Amino acid sequence: MNTLLLPLAPRRPYFPDFLTPIEAQMGEESGLQAFLDTPRQRLRDEVELLRRSSGLHSAVMEDLACGDAQAVRQLGRAAIGYCRAVLTPHWAEADRALAEERAVMARHLVTSGIEHVLANLAPTVRWRPPVLEIDYPAGLNRVIHLRGRGLTLIPSYFCRGDPIALVDPRLPPVLAYPVPRRNAPGAPGGDPLVALLGQTRADILRCIALAPGCSTSELARDAGVSLSTASKHAHVLRQAALIASVRHANLMLHHATELGTRLVRSSHALGEIAQARPA
C-alpha cells in the first residue's frame, strides 16, 4: 500500500488534484468512481507536474501517466484501504468537529452575511473585499479568478497547516481549511465545556449546536439519556440563555443561541491550548 500511495503524496507542496475528487463529498463509492473516471490526459498532466515539483519517479507514476486502467483501479483500492485502516478510528471526532464548524459558519451566514463568514475562516485567511487572501504553502503562490463561479468552502479535520485549493484552474474552485480540534476526553487539560457544565449537559449543548432545530427526543437519543433527563437539561440551558426553544406542532425544537454557539466553539480553542501546553 505504501509503495503505491507515498510517491503520489510526498511531503512537498503539491500532490495531484485527482486524489481529492470533489465527488468524494457524496461518499466513498462516489469518490472512487470519480477517481476511476479521471481522463487519461489529466492523469498524464498531473503526474508530470508531480514529477517536476517533487523530483520523484516511480513505477506507479509511469503506469498512471500511461493511463493504465489496472494501475488506476489498484491505486483506488489502496487509497480506500488506507482510509479505512488509518482514518476510521478518527471519524467520530472528525464528524463532531466538522459538524460544529458547519453550524457556526451557518449561523455567521444567517446573522451577519457571507462577508462575516469569509472574515472568520482561519487565522491565515484575510477577507479584503473583493479579494480573499490566504497564506499559502511555500512555492505554490497563485491567484485564482472565480469569474462568476462559486467558491466551495471545505472545513477539513486533517488539514493542519495552511488552507489549500485545487491547482488546476479548470476544476471547480474549492478551499479546504483546517478546523479547530476539541480536546479528546481524558486528554491533558480535560474538556473545558464538560468542566463547566458537566458531561451530559455539555453533550446536549453540543448536540443542539451541531443540529439546530433538534427535538427533545433527538437530544435524548444522541446524548444517550432518558427523555425526561434531556428535557431537564434543556430547561437549564435555556434559563442560562445558551439555547432557545420553540414549539412546533407537538415538538419542542431547540437552537443554540449566539452565546451557546460561542461557548461550544471556545471550548475547542481552550482545549487545544491545554493540549499544546507543556507538561
* DSSP string across 56-118: ---HHHHHHHTT-HHHHHHHHHHHHHHIIIIIGGGHHHHHHHHHHHHHHHHHHHHHH-HHHHH
- Grid cell, residue 147, equals 469569474
Which residues in the chain come in under a pLDDT of 70? 1-3, 11-13, 137-140, 180-190, 212, 267-279
Q: What is the pLDDT of residues 252-263, one digit of tens each?
A: 889 888 888 888
Q: What type of residue is 210?
A: L
Give the model's pLDDT for residue 2: 57
Give the model's pLDDT for residue 35: 85
Give the model's pLDDT for residue 267: 67
Cα–Cα distance list, 4 to 22, 61, 78, 166 (Å): 22, 9, 7, 22
pTM greater than 0.75 (yes/no):
no
Q: Is 246 helix (H, G, I), strand (E, B) or coil?
A: strand
Give the model's pLDDT for residue 212: 66
Give the model's pLDDT for residue 181: 58
Q: For the domain with range 192-276, which CATH number is right: 3.30.750.24, 1.10.10.10, 3.40.1670.10, 3.30.465.10?
A: 1.10.10.10
Give the model's pLDDT for residue 11: 66
Q: DSSP class of residue 242?
A: S
Give the model's pLDDT for residue 277: 44
Q: What is the pLDDT of residues 190-215, one digit of tens each?
A: 678 888 898 889 989 988 887 767 88
Q: For residue 76, how many C-alpha atoms fall within 13 Å in the half-sphere facing its CB? A: 20
Instruction: Give the start-to-end residue ranges of the domains of the chain.
Output: 2-89, 98-178, 192-276
For 18, other C-beta atoms within 10 Å of its C-beta total 23
Q: How far apart are CA 71 and CA 4, in angstroms?
A: 9
Q: How far apart are CA 37 and CA 188, in angstroms?
A: 45
Q: What type of residue is 246?
A: V
Give the model's pLDDT for residue 190: 61
Give the model's pLDDT for residue 201: 92
Instruction: Specify the length of the chain in residues.
Output: 279
